[in-house]
Amino acid sequence: MQSVNKPVLHTYFRSSCTWRVRIALALKGIEYDQAPVNLIKDGGQQLSSKFTDINPMQQVPSLEIDGITLSQSLAIIQYLDETRPKPRLLPEDAKKRAYVRMISDLIASGIQPLQNLMVLQKLGDGERLGWAQSYITKGFHALEKILDCTAGQYCVEDEVSMADLCLVPQVYNAERFKVDLTPFPTITRINQALMELEAFKVSHPSRQPDTPPDLRA
């Protein structure tokens, strides 16, 4: 049962966009209820009229919080950072903040949409793996070069930022699609460091209420 006072996250366990928001909520210590939306079952529950009223784009995530409903993961994360600023996910320094937004947009706009479920469903079964591998690999080559200039322990120096929230789910997708990560040592190193943090562990797709039993950690 959903609490009246808690935010409600409309989520799908394997959605990388939703995973970004789950990490942000965990880092900021925000308690929330989950309202699972199965993107596969019943032809896609996101297409229902009930969910369309919540998010006209028929996508997850959507977050009901503070009397409003927000969609689009980066908009949600930035709202959380502005209203609940500790720990900060966008640096105070303007140049670092620009780097964080650049990396986040590269992943959220330049890589992930090209291999998400909505796109892959338009392709034949034999085309999907090669398609996803191609666009993830292309994006990772660009991302690796950027991170070589911006990274410390994490994507932008040594503080976890919105860029890291985008990176980890995208590496998970790359592994799902059997992308060779050998050419991307910086991406791999940062991902490994982030996955040592509790907020990234508890928000992992294998540990969600709607995770199928055979995929649970």
Angle between helix axes 128-150 and 185-194 (nearest 10 degrees) is 80
What tokens appear for 211 in the block? 């995770």
Of 216, 160, 149, the residue nearest 191 (C-alpha): 160
Q: Give 175-205 pLDDT, tens digit per residue.
A: 999 999 999 999 999 999 999 999 999 999 9
Mean pLDDT of the chain: 94
Give Cα 121 to chain centroid, integer Å. Answer: 20
Q: Give 30-59 pLDDT, tens digit per residue.
A: 999 999 998 988 888 898 998 899 989 898
Structural domains of the chain in order of their starting residue, each with its CATH number: 8-86 (3.40.30.10), 94-200 (1.20.1050.10)
Write down the pTM of the prediction.
Answer: 0.93
Of 59, 3, 12, the residue nearest 30 (C-alpha): 3
